[in-house]
């Protein structure tokens, strides 16, 4: 997405990736809400079966996906790069707009290749870890930055709400229908994400993450304090849910899309696919770790030493 998007709106378009994820989470929440009263095998068969539909759509869409013009430039296929770029921009191949952008892509590639010579498959992976930590332009620093950003995105705790929110709200004991609250949180997530389309370009990448982190920390402290001090008070629980929604707002409008935008921009073309791949792997690794350890941390039926609740 970062390679085929126009430079001026690249951040907004890449943010659309996170927006699509939020829509998927909302649809999944709607399915869970619709099957909550089923006592047969349909309670889990239906949600799983519906997932196959999106997998089929994705599989078909892959055959329609255009190749990146930067990939063709990297392979020396300039004519194909021109054709794809013209198709993506809706302009004639000989138009000044297409020729100028193509010239910019070629110039960037030639500069990067002068700094990072052509390498073999294994050497390109090795190149992701070259350089020193104190050198701002080193590939090692870029790789650590990309993987760390995705790690911290998961460590914000957002997926605790979306994975185990229903169970958590049920354990509070004062909510009649936790599925409704879970549905509301996913709706907040969907409505907040498009804000990043504007802020990621106007505020910049780094300030966006700083403001988002500050907002999330404040909300998390408030939720923890209220949950520990007045866990059985209905009004306090409502306030806690409100700040959870505000916390989701800060994440969805900053760190949610912002981390993906940055990893798509920090790697040079020769190692971009490897760098983004490593960063994405970091995201799913920490996603898996959080999904595994969280139930042990909040389950009241387990050893109380690990039950941290709202803390």
Question: Could you read off the pLDDT of 270-290 as tens digits, one per residue?
Answer: 788 899 999 999 999 999 998
User: pLDDT tens, 135-191?
Assistant: 877 889 999 999 999 999 999 989 888 888 888 888 877 778 888 888 899 999 999
Per-residue pLDDT for 214 more than 80? yes
Give the model confidence (pLDDT) of 93-144 as tens digits.
888 888 988 998 888 888 777 766 666 778 888 888 888 888 877 889 999 9
As a whole number of angstroms, the distance between CA 11 and CA 25 comes to: 22
3-state SS of the chain? Answer: CCCCCCHHHHHHHHHHHHHHHHHHHHHHHHHHHHCCCCCCCHHHHHHHHHHHHHHHHHHHHHHHCCCCHHHHHHCCCHHHHHHHHHHHHCCCCCCHHHHHHHHHHHHHHHHHHHHCCCCCHHHHHHHCCCCCCCCCCCHHHHHHHHHHHHHHHHHCCHHHHHHHHHHHHHHCCCCCCHHHHHHHHHHHHHHHCCHHHHHHHHCCHHHHHHHHHHHHHHHHHHHHHHHHHCCCCHHHHHHHHHHHHHHHHHHHHHHHHHHHHHHCCCCCHHHHHHHHHHHHHHHHHHHHHHHHHHHHHHCCCCCHHHCCCCC
Of 255, 182, 242, 184, the closest CA to residue 216 belongs to: 255
- As a whole-number percent, the residues of the chain with pLDDT over 90 amount to 26
**What number does CATH give the domain 138-311?**
1.20.1250.20
Residue 227 has pLDDT above 60, yes or no: yes
Q: Over 60: is that where the pLDDT of 8 sits?
A: yes
User: Residues 230-252: pLDDT tens digits?
Assistant: 877 888 888 899 999 999 999 99
Mean pLDDT for all residues in the chain: 85
- Residue 306 in this model has a pLDDT that exceeds 50: no
| Spatial separation of the C-alpha atoms in residues 256 and 158, rounded to whole Å | 9
The percent of residues in the chain predicted with pLDDT above 70, rounded, is 94
pTM comes to 0.79
CA distance linking residue 55 with residue 102, whole number of Å: 34
């Amino acid at each position: 997405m970062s390679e085929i998007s126009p430079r001026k709106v690249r951040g907004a378009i890449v943010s659309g990736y996170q927006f699509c994820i939020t829509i998927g989470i909302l649809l999944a929440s709607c399915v869970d809400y619709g099957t909550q009263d089923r006592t047969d095998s349909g309670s889990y068969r239906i949600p799983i079966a519906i997932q196959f539909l999106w997998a089929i759509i994705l599989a078909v869409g892959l055959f329609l996906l255009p190749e990146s013009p930067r990939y063709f430039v990297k392979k020396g296929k300039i004519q194909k790069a021109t054709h794809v770029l013209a198709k993506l921009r809706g302009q004639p191949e000989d138009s000044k707009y297409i020729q100028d952008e193509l010239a910019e892509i070629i110039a960037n590639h030639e500069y990067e290749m002068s700094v990072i010579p052509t390498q073999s498959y294994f050497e390109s992976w090795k190149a992701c870890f070259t350089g020193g930590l104190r050198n701002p332009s080193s590939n090692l620093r870029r790789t650590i930055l990309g993987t760390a950003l995705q790690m911290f995105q998961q460590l914000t705790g957002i997926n605790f709400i979306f994975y185990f929110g229903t169970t958590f709200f049920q354990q509070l004991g004062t909510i009649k229908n936790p599925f409704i609250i879970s549905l509301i949180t996913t709706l907040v997530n969907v409505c907040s994400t498009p804000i990043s389309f504007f802020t990621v370009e106007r505020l910049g990448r780094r300030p966006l993450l700083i403001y988002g982190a500050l907002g999330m920390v404040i909300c998390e402290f408030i939720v923890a304090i209220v949950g520990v001090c007045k866990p059985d008070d209905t009004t306090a629980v409502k306030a806690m849910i409100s700040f959870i929604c505000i916390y989701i707002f800060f994440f969805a409008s900053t760190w949610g899309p912002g981390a993906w935008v940055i990893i798509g921009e920090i790697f040079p073309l020769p190692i971009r696919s490897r760098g983004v791949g490593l960063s994405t792997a970091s995201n799913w690794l920490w996603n898996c770790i959080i999904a595994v350890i969280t139930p042990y941390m909040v389950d009241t039926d387990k050893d109380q030493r690990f039950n941290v609740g709202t803390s």
